[in-house]
């Protein structure tokens, strides 16, 4: 068991790729494909003590998939909420401008 805490700031050029041979490896490259400063996650298959069974490797990969999918879904939901709030704000501003225009027109009509 490894016990580490690491914070990596991801940028739009972040690359994530994986391979299954000889050990399953997931590469996270925050600065893009084959750039310095990448992180690897390995699932021991052989040559390393405490190797995992094929079923265990699949469970580990599925845990990564579930976690990343849930993270993505949370981000998508937040973006949709922000977009909806922005749309509502723009609609409210347009309505205020329309009402101000009507008020100005009606005041101009009364002064004639």
pLDDT digits (tens, 9 = 90+) for 70-110: 999 999 999 888 888 888 999 999 999 999 998 888 887 77
- The pTM (predicted TM-score) of the whole model is 0.64
Q: Is residue 29 within 8 Å of residue 38, measured between CB atoms?
A: yes
The helix, strand and coil proportions of the chain, stated in percent and rounded to the nearest 5, come to 50, 15, 35
Domain with 65, as residue range(s), is: 53-112
Tens digits of residue pLDDT in 42-72: 887 765 566 788 898 899 999 999 999 999 9
Q: Is residue 14 within 8 Å of residue 27, measured between CB atoms?
A: no
For residues 28 and 73, give the distance between their C-alpha atoms in angstroms, rounded to a whole number.
19
Statement to judge: residues 100 and 74 lie in one domain: yes
What confidence score (pLDDT) does residue 51 get? 78
DSSP type of residue 14? -
Percent of the chain surpassing pLDDT 70: 92
What's the gap between Cα 41 and its chain centre? 19
Statement to judge: residues 36 and 57 lie in one domain: no
Statement to judge: residues 66 and 90 lie in one domain: yes
């Amino acid at each position: 068991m490894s016990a580490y805490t690491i914070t990596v700031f991801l940028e739009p050029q972040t690359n994530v790729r994986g391979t299954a041979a000889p050990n399953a490896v997931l590469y996270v490259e925050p600065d893009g494909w084959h750039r310095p400063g990448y992180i690897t996650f390995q699932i021991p298959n052989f040559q390393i003590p405490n190797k995992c069974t094929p079923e265990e490797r699949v469970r580990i990969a599925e845990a990564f998939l579930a976690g990343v999918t849930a993270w993505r879904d949370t981000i998508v939901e937040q973006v949709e909420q922000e977009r909806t709030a922005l749309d509502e704000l723009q609609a409210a501003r347009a309505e205020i401008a329309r009402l101000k225009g009507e008020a100005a027109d009606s005041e101009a009509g009364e002064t004639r």
